[in-house]
Homo-oligomer: A and B are copies of this chain.
């Protein structure tokens, strides 16, 4: 098959990476996308660096077997902990979500003070600090883990009193410290965008790592001459390592994704 017609492989620890798929579909409607969510082991965000790296390598192997032309790590936790290893072991280009988000945040800030929110593992890794400082060595950064955001979203509580209070509890320190830009450093978080935006008000710019990642993928495909033909018919295939639960419906509805039957593909463990 012509390399350009091969699919873009996208993975996440679960369903959250569908926010990246949504952005890719808007930007690159002619591409075939193969999405693999590791729902049998979700979430990655509270697990150790070694385990997150191992899981990411296993899922990437499954995407390589699908003959993908490039791989998108649509998960901040896997991008933060596993990207260097994936880049060095994978024969095709790999794009994560952190570098594009960091670049957009540095472009957006006016007072030079950027907030970053994400899972425990992402924040603990310091990956955003490193990426932000490659674009602006003197930027000020306030980072905070928000472990309840993912379960809130997966429960479908995108709005309401509980959500507003959790948002306030996590984000008040960032407001008090004076960030003017906030990186939504988890691919689930765009689903809480309205609740977060309402609390922060218009003076804080939200940087959606999903959106910026999709733009980086488009640039990569252009630079490497890997874009599908403009008359090609785009397509989305979704596979999960465990059968879907209710959250898939929450995500599909919120993102208005059009997807066919979901495949279930257990992880194969190398020995």
Which residue numbers of A lie inside 8 Å of B, CB to CB?
39-42, 46-48, 50-51, 120, 147-148, 150-152, 154-155, 157, 161-162, 165-166, 169, 242-243, 245-247, 269, 271
Contact status B166-A162, CB under 8 Å = yes
Nearest-Cβ distance from residue A174 to partner chain B, whole angstroms: 17
The 6 A-B residue pairs whose C-beta atoms are closest, nearest first, are: A269-B269, A151-B151, A48-B243, A51-B242, A162-B165, A48-B242
* Cα of A109 to Cα of B75 in the assembled complex, Å: 47
A169, closest chain B residue (CB):
B162
Nearest chain B CB to A246 CB, angstrom units: 7
| Least Cβ–Cβ distance between A224 and chain B, in angstroms | 35
Other-chain residue from B39, B50, B152, B246 in contact with A120 (beta carbon distance below 8 A) = B246
- Which of chain B's residues have a CB closer than 8 A to the CB of A120? 245-246
Residues of B within 8 A of A40 (CB): 41, 47, 51
Least Cβ–Cβ distance between A145 and chain B, in angstroms: 9
Knowing A148-B151, A151-B147 are in contact, say whether A47-B242 is a contact too (CB < 8 A).
yes
How many angstroms from the CA of A166 to the CA of B161 in the assembled complex?
Answer: 9
Residue with the greatest number of chain B CB neighbours at <10 A, chosen from A152, A243, A245, A246: A245
Cα–Cα distance between A154 and B155 once the two chains are bound (Å):
16
**CB-contact partner of A152 in B46, B48, B148, under 8 A:** B148
Residues of chain B lying within 8 A (CB to CB) of residue A47 = 39-40, 242, 245
Q: Is the CB of A154 within 8 A of B46?
A: yes
Residue of A39, A120, A147, A152 contacting most chain B CB atoms (<10 Å) = A147
**Would A161 and B151 be within 8 Å (CB), given that A41-B40, A48-B242, A242-B51 are in contact?**
no
Report the Cα distance A101→B50, complex, angstroms.
37
Cβ contacts under 8 Å, A154 to chain B: 46, 147
Residue of A51, A154, A246 with highest tally of chain B CB at under 10 A = A51
Name the CB-closest residue of B to A45: B245
List the B side residues contacting A148 at CB < 8 Å: 148, 151-152, 155, 157, 162
Q: Show 10 A/B contacts (Cβ-Cβ < 8 Å), sorted by A.
A: A46-B154, A51-B242, A120-B245, A120-B246, A148-B148, A148-B157, A150-B151, A162-B169, A269-B269, A269-B271
Q: Are A245 and B46 in contact (CB under 8 A)?
A: yes
Output the nearest chain B residue to A243 by Cβ-Cβ distance: B48
Bound-state Cα–Cα, A40 to B245, Å: 20
Q: What residues of chain B lie closer than 8 Å to A269, measured between beta carbons? A: 269, 271
